[in-house]
Amino acid sequence: MQCVVLAAGEGKRMRPLTAQRPKVMLPVANRPMMEHLVLAARDAGITDFVFVVGYGAREVRGHFGEGKRFGIHITYAPQRQQSGTADALRSAQDLISGPFLAMNGDMILTSADITRMIQMPAPCIGTSTTDHPGDFGVVLVENERVIALEEKSKHPNSNIINAGAYLFSQEIFDLLAQVRPSSRGELELTDALGVLITRKGLKAVSLSSWMDIGYPWDLLDANAALLAGISSANSGIIEEGVHLSGPVIIGKDTVVKSGTYIEGPCIIGNNCRIGPHTYIRGATSIGDECHIGHCTELKNSVVMAKTKIPHFNYVGDSVIGSGCNFGAGTKIANLRHDHAPIRIGGKNTRHTKFGAVVGDNVNFGINCSVNVGSVIGSNAQFAPNSYVEGSFGENSTIR
């Protein structure tokens, strides 16, 4: 069995986090989200992969290489222009022989679900359920057979959604060749699926676990879910007077200084400096070469590599890019006074606690205050005592 992973898109809904990397390379529990998916497929018995790459292909190739360190073999299929999912899958045609699994690279599945799916006869589609189906393409199912697909709608007729995982035979490539541009100007995989449905030949496979990562706040949900399954491991240096509670992973050459209190689940990367007197609360991931310093508190956040949050800072329920620097006393709010769900750009995050999305290489002066739901583009600069609220583009300068 071969596996095609669709990883060519930028992930514009993830901006500003995708300014320097493709969406599939955003970290969850200190690994690119696509790595979790690939390892699950490997554990299901698949060792032959085709990655369809486009935007940020260099980052994907640089991390995965030929797959040797993961115990798999990877071939790359470039998608020259992002012209839709049908075009992406068609890019891999010359590298595929026989039935194959195809998956979107921006989700996380379990190896058990993948194992069950590849044991089914092709073609079939993985489905999941959600309490907000209006955000997804909906699947209508009757006796485990797909009878219709619906595009995103304010009034969907089902809570069953397309999970972005498929088992195909070679027949799919004949159907993809017949697909014509949609009203969006893209070649849509769903048009080929529609032909299979009319032939009454597409079966639905209900997945027991599915995490879609479409927006920055979804990173926090996925991060918390994956950290919930970790076990403690320490490859660093823990000074006397440090208290660890619950499962905590500490990377190689990381130093945790005296007076620090860490509540798991938490993962800290390599070559970090933590403390003294730092408080790190559960469901937090800290990337390599970070500095989290004196009297700083982190909670339920993703902090990417080489970011410094050194003195008297608070960061809660936030996603922080790489290479950022927080001036002393800078804090991110994460709760409205009325406890209403946080909205970003008019979009309901469905989180009553959510702080900010901070791009790469953002610098805050001392005593900056960042309000809930703020989105800050990469390379932004904020003067001391700045009040930050709303959205700021890349290279913004607030004096």
Residues serving a catalytic function are 311
Provide the 3-class DSSP secondary structure of residue 319.
strand
Cα–Cα dist 346/361, whole Å: 26
Report the amino acid identity of residue 229: G
Distances (CA, A) of 193 to 197, 204, 242: 6, 12, 56
Determine contact, residues 126/207, Cβ cutoff 8 Å: yes
Query: How many C-beta neighbours within 10 Å does residue 75 have?
Result: 16
Determine contact, residues 383/399, Cβ cutoff 8 Å: yes
155 exposure class (CB count in 10 Å sphere: 0-12, 13-18, 19+):
exposed
Provide the 3-class DSSP secondary structure of residue 62.
helix
CA atoms within a 13 Å half-sphere pointing along the CA-CB vector of 399 = 0
Query: How many C-beta neighbours within 10 Å does residue 382 have?
Result: 24
Instruction: Retrieve residue 98's tokens.
Output: 């026989």
Phi, psi of 31, deg, nearest 5: -135, 145
Cα–Cα dist 249/268, whole Å: 6
Instruction: Retrieve residue 137's tokens.
Output: 């393409």
Cis peptide leading into 265, omega within 30 of 0?
yes
Distances (CA, A) of 386 to 266, 318, 337, 363, 382: 30, 18, 21, 11, 6
Q: Which residues contact 27 (CB under 8 A, 6 or more apart)?
A: 33, 285, 287, 302, 304
Measured CA angle at 113 (ends 233, 300), to 5 deg: 40
Determine contact, residues 156/134, Cβ cutoff 8 Å: yes
- For helices 111-118 and 33-43, angle between their N-to-C axes, nearest 10 degrees: 50
Measured CA angle at 327 (ends 322, 331), to 5 deg: 85
